[in-house]
């Protein structure tokens, strides 16, 4: 998976979450599921593309 594909998936999932939350509320089971899916995508992005910062103490 390339970086732009993952960014696109994140943006799409975020838009879906906003739409569902407006319709069903933030605590609906669908909104919670979409939120968890978005978290998973964001974690994957961070794991693949964000360099870890190490302390040089």
Q: What is the pLDDT of residue 8?
A: 98
Rounded distance between C-alpha atoms, residue 28 and residue 10, angstroms: 20
State how far the alpha carbon of 12 is from the alpha carbons of 8, 34, 35, 45, in Å. Answer: 6, 11, 12, 14
Q: What is the pLDDT of residue 56?
A: 52
Rounded distance between C-alpha atoms, residue 40 and residue 29, angstroms: 17
Q: What is the pLDDT of residue 54?
A: 54
- Single pTM value for the model: 0.84
Residue 50 near residue 18 (C-beta atoms within 8 A): no
Q: What is the pLDDT of residues 1-57, one digit of tens each?
A: 799 999 999 999 999 999 999 999 999 999 999 999 999 999 999 999 886 655 555
Q: What is the pLDDT of residue 25?
A: 97
């Amino acid at each position: 998976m390339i970086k732009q594909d993952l960014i696109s998936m994140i943006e799409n999932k975020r838009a879906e979450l906003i739409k569902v939350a407006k319709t069903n509320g933030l605590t609906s089971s669908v909104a919670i599921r979409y939120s968890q899916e978005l978290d998973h995508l964001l974690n994957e992005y961070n794991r693949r593309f964000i360099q870890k910062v190490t302390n040089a103490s």
